[in-house]
Structure 1
Amino acid sequence: MSDNASTPAQPARPAAEERSRTPMFAPGAGPAADPAGSHHERRIRSFQPRRSRVTHGQRKALERMWPHWGVDVDGLSRLDLDALFDSLPAGSPVVCEIGFGMGEATAQMAADDPATGILAVDVHTPGQGNLLRLAERNDLVNIRVANGDAIILLREMLAPDSLSGLRLYFPDPWPKKRHHKRRIVQPEFLDLAAVPLRPGALVHLATDWEPYAEQMLEVLTAHPAYENASAGGGFAEPRPSVRPMTRFERQGLHKGHMVRDLLFRRV
């Protein structure tokens, strides 16, 4: 009897399990599934990964553009922003956008201000692919896409005084009281963000959740590293024209929500 015949048959592994073990992209050809891995502490996250299908066009854009314009947030090295934005003159301003959805508003802001680099960070693979697709299609050479935790990006990978701005549009409001600790805009986050933000850097936030808007205004006003850039010291009114209408904003307005913008400067 052959060895094969004497070996008990192994049960077939379910197809879903096989797919879960198979990397979505070849190494270096797309964003890593968990770039920071176990290098950094586990903590309460201000985001929850959204699992949705990556379209053929998004996948192809990631495969083509990620090696050139993609950054995995592994927290192991400091980014050289001049080298990262090598298509812009050295010393060009760079802003960080945290959470960009499907990237339409980010692409529009990049087109409107081609002299400013946008380092856009998110964990949503379809959105990453869509933003790279828009950047490639419209020759937006001032966009770079970062994959991973924005906290690790700000704390571990950006040099002091390296950013000219920070944008945070429609973050998860975590409306239930027991989840408020997950909101990203907290005093500790502002402490962290103050380090890579250079003096005069503009912090622009927006939300359609009124209680969260009030919390944002309260913690920013109380923080010594920031000053309100809006007349009267409240919310920015009228709505700043530099921020395009986002999909989340349209959804909020359709539900009757009040959209609030906040503009603060790093002191």
Structure 2
Amino acid sequence: MSENLSPTPATAAERTSREPKFPAGPAADPAGSHHERRIRSFQPRRSRVTTGQGESLRRLWPKWGLDIDGLSRLDLGELFGDPELPVVLEIGFGMGEATAQMAAADPGTGILACDVHTPGQGNLLGLAERNGLTNVRVANGDAIILLREMLAPDSLAGLRVYFPDPWPKKRHHKRRLIQPEFLALAATRLAPGAVLHCATDWEPYAEQMLEVLSAAPDFENTQPDGGYAPRPEFRPLTRFEGQGLDKGHVVHDLMFRRRAA
């Protein structure tokens, strides 16, 4: 009878011991039960974190990261170490490559990058350190709570929402981020003249964005013809976007300015 040479399955403890540790990193649910439960436009994803990403989270989160707990008002000047630095909020940054490129190209602007994807948070922190980017901060949690509870009125120099989840099924359209309620909230946190810049490769969502933004009383289209904007040079062509273009997707940019009060 031959000996069974198949490997013994790893125990839970052994698997846990091999996983990267970042005890001072982002919390799983930073707002907890402090705020109301509601339909959200995102799905928290604590997927596989590489050793490098975990190390970046462990070392850099206390320095450049913040959990969106909704319990205190942020001082953006203190957060970025410069009270004169204009700050743009980016909601959803994926793995952070485009965010890092924009930060490097415009060191005079702070980027507060918000997402719930733990590997992307670690990756962006690592990119910021390797490239000497001191104008990036990473926020973990619900962007609605960040806007409503933690940012002061008129405190943002811009807002970027690139390739948000399109929630293509009709029954899920209510989960889409760009809705009248969101725009009304965003307008209170954007300084007069600040630009809300959206991009999507999902045609029906682009049409909805244009319709909703055009009807928002606090915003005006930067395009004289009232249509889509050409892709600005400062928005990098991401790998995700390139894959969509290869499939025949059409990418639409929308740039709307907050009206003066």
Tell me which of 104, 125, 132 is aligned to 2:125: 132
**Percent of paired sites with the same residue:** 76
Give the TM-score of the pair, scaled to structure 2: 0.91
Tell me which of 34, 56, 64 is aligned to 1:61: 56
**Across the two proteins, how many residue pairs are aligned to each other?**
246
| Correspondence 1:96-135 to 2 at 5 A | 96-135=89-128
Give the 3-state SS of the residue equivalent to 2:26 in structure 1.
coil
Q: CA deviation at 1:24?
A: 5.3
Give the TM-score of the pair, scaled to structure 1: 0.89
Aligned to 1:154: 147
Q: CA deviation at 1:188?
A: 0.5
Instruction: From the superposition, tell whether residues 24 and 150 of structure 1 become closer, same or farther in structure 2 (CA, over 3 Å).
Output: farther
Asked whether the equivalents of residues 77 and 84 of structure 2 are also in contact (C-alpha less than 8 Å), the reply is yes
Q: 1:259 & 1:129 partners in 2: Cα distance?
A: 27
Q: CA deviation at 1:25?
A: 3.1
Aligned to 1:171: 164
Tell me which of 160, 178, 181 is aligned to 1:188: 181
Establish whether residue 44 from structure 1 lines up as the match of residue 39 from structure 2: yes
Asked whether the equivalents of residues 20 and 55 of structure 2 are also in contact (C-alpha less than 8 Å), the reply is no
Q: 1:122 & 1:232 partners in 2: Cα distance?
A: 33
Computed over aligned residues only, the root mean square deviation of the Cα atoms, in angstroms, reads: 1.6
Give the 3-state SS of the residue equivalent to 1:132 in structure 2.
helix
Asked whether the equivalents of residues 201 and 241 of structure 2 are also in contact (C-alpha less than 8 Å), the reply is yes
| Letter of the structure 2 residue corresponding to residue 15 of structure 1 | A
| Letter of the structure 2 residue corresponding to residue 257 of structure 1 | H
Aligned to 1:261: 253
Q: CA deviation at 1:23?
A: 11
Aligned to 1:247: 239
Asked whether the equivalents of residues 114 and 138 of structure 2 are also in contact (C-alpha less than 8 Å), the reply is yes
Asked whether the equivalents of residues 107 and 135 of structure 2 are also in contact (C-alpha less than 8 Å), the reply is yes
Q: 1:247 & 1:230 partners in 2: Cα distance?
A: 27
Structure 1 unmatched ranges of 5 or more: 1-13
Asked whether the equivalents of residues 170 and 248 of structure 1 are also in contact (C-alpha less than 8 Å), the reply is no
Q: CA deviation at 1:91?
A: 1.9
Tell me which of 82, 90, 106 is aligned to 2:77: 82
Asked whether the equivalents of residues 160 and 196 of structure 1 are also in contact (C-alpha less than 8 Å), the reply is yes
Q: CA deviation at 1:209?
A: 0.3
| Letter of the structure 2 residue corresponding to residue 152 of structure 1 | I
